[in-house]
């Protein structure tokens, strides 16, 4: 398996925060697809959505992923936008890149974490609760199908989540040093 960890999951699942903590612990490079796109486009995700529409943004996501793989990512933690794995071609690219980790969050957790958020175009407007429920129902099976491992994040500290990921990563890459087997 390639030496990369890819974080997927819903908005507010903690991909960016956990990604930064993981990269620091492993001394890996951190790449965030949303940040890559914003930098390349010179505008925010909200502007891209409002000026060009969602389909345009989704094409940018696929392009960013392809470019990253072309450059040959190694020792990288990739934090993906919540909708990136929905395109099957993207999911296949992620699986080839390394260990795909689904950070799973329940609706209540997502709503609490994104209560005052104004940056996610898909959650603006009326009825965020129904919107989140609807999107989660559609997306969770896709995240599960795409990921090698699923880590429930509700009620867990960032440190706890990163340790869980590193433990699994070491096992999957054959590095068993320092792993304590629990009875
Ligand atoms: C999206 C998630 C966002 C961002 C965009 C669309 C989605 O990223 O890519 O607003 O479709 O779930 P985060 O998951 O980092 O919030």
pTM score, whole prediction: 0.94
Distance 98 CA to ligand 1 centre (A): 21
Distance 176 CA to ligand 1 centre (A): 34
- Among the residue ranges 30-34, 56-60, 96-100, 117-121, the one predicted with the least confidence is 117-121
Out of 16, 83, 136, give the residue to mutate to test ligand 1, the one with the largest number of ligand atoms within 8 Å of its CB. Answer: 83
Distance 166 CA to ligand 1 centre (A): 24
Predicted confidence (pLDDT) per residue in 126-175, tens digit: 788 999 999 999 999 999 999 999 999 999 999 999 999 999 999 888 87
Confidence of residue 181 (pLDDT cuts 50, 70, 90): low
Ligand 1 atom closest to Cα of residue 15: 15
HEC string of the chain equals CCCEEEEECCCCCCHHHHHHHHHHHHCCEEEEHHHHHHHHHCCCHHHHHHHHCHHHHHHHHHHHHHHHHHHCCCCEEEECCCCHHHCHHHHHHHHHHCEEEEEECCHHHHHHHCCCCCCCHHHCCCCHHHHHHHHHHHHHHHHHHHCCEEEECCCCCHHHHHHHHHHHHHHHCCCCCCCCCCC
């Amino acid at each position: 398996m390639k030496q990369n960890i890819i974080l997927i999951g819903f908005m507010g699942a903690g991909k960016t925060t956990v990604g930064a903590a993981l990269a620091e612990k492993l001394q890996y490079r951190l790449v965030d697809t949303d940040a890559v796109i914003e930098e390349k486009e010179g505008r925010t995700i909200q502007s891209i959505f409002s000026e060009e529409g969602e389909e345009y943004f989704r094409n940018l996501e696929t392009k960013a992923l392809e470019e990253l793989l072309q450059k040959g990512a190694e020792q990288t933690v990739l934090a993906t936008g919540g909708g990136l794995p929905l395109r099957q071609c993207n999911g296949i690219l992620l699986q080839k890149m390394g260990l795909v980790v689904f950070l799973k969050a329940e609706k209540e957790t997502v709503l609490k974490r994104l209560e005052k958020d104004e940056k996610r175009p898909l959650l603006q407007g009326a009825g965020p609760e129904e919107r989140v429920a609807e999107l989660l129902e559609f997306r969770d099976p896709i995240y599960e199908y795409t990921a090698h491992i699923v880590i429930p994040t509700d009620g867990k500290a960032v440190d706890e989540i990163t340790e869980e990921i590193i433990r699994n990563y070491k096992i999957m890459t054959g590095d068993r040093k320092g792993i304590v087997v629990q009875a």
